[in-house]
Each structure stands twice: as structure tokens, then as C-alpha cells.
Chains A and B, each alone.
Chain A
Amino acid sequence: MTPRLELKNINKRYPGVVANDDISLSIMPGEIHAILGENGAGKSTLMKIIYGAIEADSGEIYCDGNLVERHNPAISRQLGIEMVYQHFALFESVSVVENIALAMRGRFDLKALSEQVRALSQRYGMPVDPKRIVHDLSVGERQRVEIVRCLLQDPKLLILDEPTSVLTPQAVEKLFETLRQLAAEGCSILYISHKLEEIQQLCERATVLRNGAVTGVADARTTSSLELARMMVGSELPKTSHPPATPSSEPVLEVRGLTAEVAEGFGVSLRDVSLSVRAGEIVGIAGVSGNGQAELISYLSGETIAEKADTVRLLGQPAGHLDPARRRQRGLAFVPEERLGRGAVPTLSLQENAILTGHRRGMVRHGLLDRKKAAEFADHVIRRFSVKARNAQSVAQSLSGGNLQKFIVGREIELEPKVLLVSQPTWGVDVGAAAFIRQTLIDISRQGTAVLVVSEELDELFEICDRLVVMCAGLVSRPLETAETNREEVGLLMTGLDKTTQSRKEVDLALHD
């Protein structure tokens, strides 16, 4: 049988870096093939070469046995290669169906296309409302749109880049079923991930990359996690240590009965949300994105001012009426979900981005910036969190997503906050660095910081949190002790509650039972 796709000796060099070093691999029709590797191992570059978004310096690509001579995304799509990007290429100001229509050939008929989208999304268990404006969708929902968009093209090879990080365990199961079904129909799937269990569960073969080169091709089903990890990292996987928490008696961050109505289509209304975080503990908010997490976080950070000051309390004081700067002054630090634009100014240097939140740490004197101090601070963060950047003068947008994330998390942690809010702390960060970020979060909590983490990765929450709450349809569950709950219970709280079919009371019952 001829392979669906075959790569021969692909090389790609950037100034100072070898992104892809003599990579060869082959994928058979109907095969689910994993590309395993840390961030910076060259996975993204390789995927872009396959998709034709960038050109290899040398090497050959064969599709169904035919040499692909000229390559670009349009040719890819003619060949039936579709890609779900990690950073979605969706337009925010237009609706879901309009976004999909842009990628479709043929007649421009939004009504018919909406029907197709609805049918397909239902068939594959990825509910998407075609009429909604993308701006109002959560990251998880946007990913669903991307996947549906690809599936509408009847792909022969589907490339997925870390697709499960935004899904509930049940949804991951569902996605895997979909992918297996697709594979059984003859579609080849290239699955990029760093999650070993997933790859073992889903994939037949895995090509492992490290530092731009193939370190091995393994049978994903029979090779042990330990072996795969060693091929990927080059050493043992780091483990986090988790000493018992000794939380304060009084909460330092508290939400009391926060209700916020939002107009339909502009997000999720919060309904009587209450939760508390004590000094010295980590509380996690689990839930599929788009269930009110973004709204809640913006009330906590101060980006949205609460109607009643008392609904958000910081260090025992009402804080709902304070703007973000005042809250930071009182000891709050915040890592938002979006790195570019909200967490950092894309066109400014790391040093200048450090000043944005770190200006209280001696970087401003008599109203003037102390660039030396700022550079020292930025350099310190770069070293401590091993951010891959040339120096403090590197522009934020020139860093890879994971590296920028490390910088932003590091910057906030270095401020030694009393309360730390973190949204998606390890999104797109490589395994080693993710473990380091998690360990640092545990460490600062044990030193007395109250940490609130919003994450869609359940594994992560179970690894670091002392207590968990689940958000669903703008409601927050009662707190669960991490040690006394399990994935199934949390997963049920995340998914079992459909806001469209259940009344408020039923949701409450299910959440609190």
C-alpha cells in the first residue's frame, strides 16, 4: 500500500536554529499517527511544511505516492490535507457560519451551510451554533468551529495540533471516537500532542521529535510511557512535589453571591457565584471554556467593576469597586488567558512588558523609567523560568506562545503577590516548563500566597489544586476536596448540565448534590 503522506529528508533552518533536521516519516491511509515532542522540538515547523504554509530548505513530500512539487496551503487543500491550528485563524467580528463559508468553495449559501454545520457538529458531538459571532465564543468553542470547518472539506489527511487541551474528559472520549470513525472511513490523522496517555490510547504509531530531529518511531500501543517520555525529553519526566497545604483560616480572596446579567450573545451571565481562596492553598476552577470563567475572571481582576463592592473581597476588604491597578496595589497578580494583547503588549520588548505590572518594584523613580532595573527584572525572569529569548530587549511577539507564557507567569510570580489569579497556566507550554510552572505555583502557595487557577486541563488541576470548583452555565459548584473527588465526578459536573434543557433549579440540584 502506498502511504497517504511521505516525507523524505526534510530540512529547515532559521538563522541560528535548525528547526527540522533531516526528518522522514510516513502515514498510511486510515492511520492515526502521533507526532510527539516538546515545544521547540520542531513539530509546528514540520506541520507548516506539510501544510505548505512554509517551504522546506530541502527534502521531498509525497502525497499518495506522487511528488508534491510546488506547495502552498491551497495545494494542500486540493490534496485533501486539512489542519486545525493551535492558534485559531478565525475572524472575530463575523459569525461561525461566515467563517466557515470563507473556506468553502462553491455557492455562497449561508442557510444551507448552517444546516450542514449543525448536522455535522451534532453527528460528531461538537455542538456549535452557526449563527453566533466568533468574538463571543470561548477558546474551546472556537476549536470546535475549526474542527467542523475541516471536516466539512472531507479531508484525506487531518492534522490536529494539541486538540484536547480545551475539552472535558467526556469530550475527549467523544473526539477520539470521532477520529477513530474518521480513520475507519480511510482518513489519515496526524495527531500532535505531548500527552502520552492520549497518544497511547488513540494512535497506532508515534514519531518522536527532539531538537528538530527524529529520535524514534514507536508503536504507540506497546511502548511504555516511560520509554516515550525518554525519547521526547531525553531524560526522566519531572514530577511535582506536593507538600500538604496549611491554609489560613480566613479567606483572602472571596466572591459572595456575584450575579451579572449579560446580554444574549455577549457572553455568559454569572448566577449567584460564591467561592473563596485562603492563603496557602490552590483552588482550581474546572469547566469547559465558555461557561462563565472568562466573565468571573474579569470581575476578579478588576477589568469589570462589580455593581456591589462587597461581592468581591480581597484580604478581607470589599474590592469589587476597585480598578485593576488598585487591586494590584493590594497584592493581586493576574495571568490572563490571552498572552498577546492582554498579558503582554505584542510590539513592546520583554523589558517594557515587565514594567507594565512590575512598575511598583523600583522600576520607576520620580516618574521616570529605570530601564536598568526593568532589564534586570526581565533578565531574572528569563533565567529563572528558562524563557527562550535572546535578551530582555526581545519583542514580546517574537517569542513562541509557550515561551511568552513562561515569561508572563514568571513576571507575575516574581511580584510576590498575596493573591495570584492564573488562567490556563501551561497552555502550549512544553512538558518540562509546564512541570516547572506547576511546581512554582505549588511552592508560592506553600509560602502563603492564595492561588486561583482556571484551567481546562483536568490533569493539571488534579495535580496542583487543593480544592476544586466546577463552572457550568454561569454557576459554580460547591468546593470539592481534590483528594476526595475524581475525574468522573468533576466531568459529570462539567458536562451533565445542559443549560438549554434544564431549569435553574435542576442545575442547582445537580451541582450541589
Chain B
Amino acid sequence: MSLFIAIVAGTIIAATPLVFAALGELVVEKSGVLNLGIEGMMLIGAVFAFWAVFAGLPMPVAILIGALSGAAASLIFGVLALTFMTNQYAAGLALAIFGGGVSAFIGRGFGSTPIPSLARLDIPFLSDIPVLGPMFFRFDPLVYLGLFMVVAVGWFLYRTKAGLILRTIGESPQSAHAIGQPVIRIRYMAVLFGGAMAGIGGAYLSVAYTPLWVENMTAGKGWIALALVVFSTWRPTRLLVGAWLFGGMTILQLQGQAFGLRVPSELLSAVPYLATIVVLVIISRNRQLLMLNFPASLAKPFRPSG
């Protein structure tokens, strides 16, 4: 039983950085922009948040710094892709590589220095329920914030006018421009939001998940987040389910190793990535599913003059 509890709780925790990063990217892509640089933004968020804790700043401030540094990194992409209308794939890849390098450079002195980790926030009463308490109500605040953000983003996209405008810009920036929407400005805001969310995702890794700085500690989570967005067919709730699936895969793989499962650990580490590909293939074949949610203008630069 305790193993089961550990697996469920561990899954939810392991999914949290994915939830943040992918949810941010979902909003970016819904506006018709493809930012491939999640991995880089996560690393930048991770190293700056780590530095903040290291320097003795309070935890909420450190996480805020993680978010702001992620947003700042996304601004590089924004200027390239939105103002100068460079190829979005190239700009995003550049950011991914840039973030890896910059974070390694900044983090040179931090290697294997332990820091205090983000404290748990046990929900009063609920956390005392047997089984369910330790399974669902004894997490750090960021886990709860992640779940809240899923609901908030879903509400924003499908219940508010601003969300509707964002989605229509993702479908046809030309038409949105024609009815007077500030396409570029809204896309900037989406990109900054995506950067901040990736930054929090990265910060979660370095100050909560494993309170340590290790070079390239995201280990491909940014790319998984990118795949998750497609996996979710751009729907926040499905994205959460996907994040749990991949989080669960990671945890099972760790537990499998602990039990001495005789499968090479390298192969087990590859399972989430393989699963991503399988899922991508399956959903790409479902046209109806894609048609209604896919932002038609994704990755196409928009020139206001038409």
C-alpha cells in the first residue's frame, strides 16, 4: 500500500515541472507561435531560482525570479520571431541551446551545493485522511499551483473574451488583425507567459524536486513538454492527464530500478520518449481531433501589412 501511495504521490510531483512548462507552451501555441526553446528557458529558470535560494532569498522570491528569468529568456525569442519575423523553428532551437549554455555558465560555482528545499504544505485535515492524505494532500505549494493553473488556463481560453481572441489569432492572424486585434502584442504576452511558466517549471526542478544544481538537469523535460502539448491536442485538461502519464512513467522506471528489474535503466529512461512518439502517431491520424484544436497559423510569421 505504501508503495502504491508513493507511486501516486511521486507521479504527481514528477509531473509538476511538465505541467508548468507544457501549459505555458500550450498558451504560446494557441496564439499561433511555436517556441521550441522550452528546454533552455527551463534551465535558465532553474539556475536563477537556485542562485536566489543560494543567496539566501526567501523561497517565494526565488520562484518568482525563476519565472522572471524564464520570461526574460523568452523575450529573446519574442524579439527574433515576432518583431524580426525570423523563422520560429530556428529562433526556438537557438534559445534551447543558448539556455543550456548560459545556465551552465552561471551555475559553474553551484555544483553539488545542497540548498534548503521548498517546504511541504500539508493541507489541514485533508492531509490526515488515511491513504488519500499522503497521496494527494501533502505536497509543496507549487504542485497545487500547477493544478490551479490548469484550471485557470482552461477557463481563460474557453470562457473569456481575451482567451477567445488569443485562439482566433492562432487560427488566422490576418482576420484577427482585420477586426482590429493587436496580433503582435498579444503574441508577445503569450510568449512571455510561456517563458515564465517554463521558468517556474525549471525552478521546481532545482529548488523542490532535487534541490541541487546540475548542468542540464532538465534532461529533456522541455522537449517532453513540447510533445505533451501536441499529445493534449491543445486542451489543458488532457495536458494534465498526459503529464501524469509521463510523470508516472518516470516514477515506475525509478521504482523498477529499485526493485532490481532486469531491464537496462537506459532503456527504461527512454520509455517516456518512446511513449510520446507512439501517442503522437496515434493522435496525428485523428483528423477531427486535430482540426478543431490545432492553431492553424502555428509557426507562421505574421506581417501586419498583409
Contact = CB atoms under 8 A, between A and B. Distances in A.
Interface of A: 53, 73-74, 89-94, 98, 101-103, 108, 133, 135, 263, 266
B180 interface: yes
A89 B175 contact: yes
B180 A94 contact: no
Interface of B: 160-161, 164-165, 167-168, 171-172, 175-176, 178-180, 288, 291-296
Contact of A94 (B167, B179, B291, B294): B167
B164 A93 contact: no
A266 B288 contact: yes
Contacts of B171: 91-94
Nearest to A104: B161
What does DSSP make chain A's interface, helix, strand, loop or mixed? Answer: loop
A101 B180 CA distance: 14
Residue of B164, B171, B172, B294 most packed against chain A (CB within 10 A): B164
A94 B180 CA distance: 18
Contact of B288 (A53, A90, A108, A263): A263
B230 to A, nearest CB: 16
Given A91-B172, A91-B175, A135-B292, A108 B165 contact: no
Contact of A108 (B160, B178, B295): B160
A135 B179 contact: no
8 contacts: A73-B178, A91-B167, A91-B175, A93-B292, A94-B171, A102-B164, A108-B160, A108-B161
A103 B171 CA distance: 17
Contacts of B291: 93, 135
Given A93-B296, A133-B292, A263-B288, A102 B178 contact: no
Contacts of A266: 288
Q: Among the interface residues B161, B167, B293, which one has the most CB atoms of the partner chain A within 10 A?
A: B161
The 7 closest A-B pairs by CB, nearest first: A108-B161, A91-B168, A93-B171, A91-B171, A89-B175, A98-B164, A74-B180
A90 B178 CA distance: 11
A89 B167 contact: no
B164 A94 contact: yes
Given A91-B172, A93-B292, A263-B288, A102 B167 contact: no
Nearest to B161: A108
A90 B171 CA distance: 10
A93 B292 CA distance: 6
Of A93, A94, A103, the most chain B CB neighbours within 10 A belong to A93
Contacts of A91: 167-168, 171-172, 175-176
Contacts of B176: 91
Contact of B178 (A89, A93, A94, A135): A89
Contacts of B164: 94, 98, 101-102, 108
Contacts of A108: 160-161, 164
Given A94-B164, A98-B164, A101-B164, A89 B179 contact: yes
Nearest to A88: B175
Given A93-B295, A93-B296, A102-B168, 7 more contacts: A73-B179, A89-B178, A90-B175, A91-B168, A98-B164, A101-B161, A102-B165
- Name the residue among B167, B168, B293, B294 with the largest chain A CB count within 10 angstroms: B168
A450 B293 CA distance: 40
Nearest to A73: B180
B302 to A, nearest CB: 15
A102 B164 CA distance: 8
A135 B171 CA distance: 12
A138 B217 CA distance: 51
Nearest to A134: B171
A98 B164 CA distance: 7
B32 to A, nearest CB: 11
A89 B180 CA distance: 12
A194 to B, nearest CB: 25
Contacts of B288: 263, 266
B160 A93 contact: no
Contacts of A135: 291-292
Contact of B179 (A92, A102, A263): A102
A263 B287 CA distance: 13
A263 B289 CA distance: 12
A90 B293 CA distance: 16
Residue among B165, B178, B179 with the highest chain A CB neighbour number at 10 A: B179
B167 A93 contact: yes
Nearest to A85: B178
Contacts of A73: 178-180
Contacts of A98: 164
A149 B180 CA distance: 16
A403 B165 CA distance: 33
A102 B294 CA distance: 20
Name the residue in A90, A102, A108, A266 with the highest tally of chain B Cβ atoms < 10 Å from its Cβ: A102
Nearest to B172: A91
Contacts of A92: 171-172, 296
B175 A93 contact: no
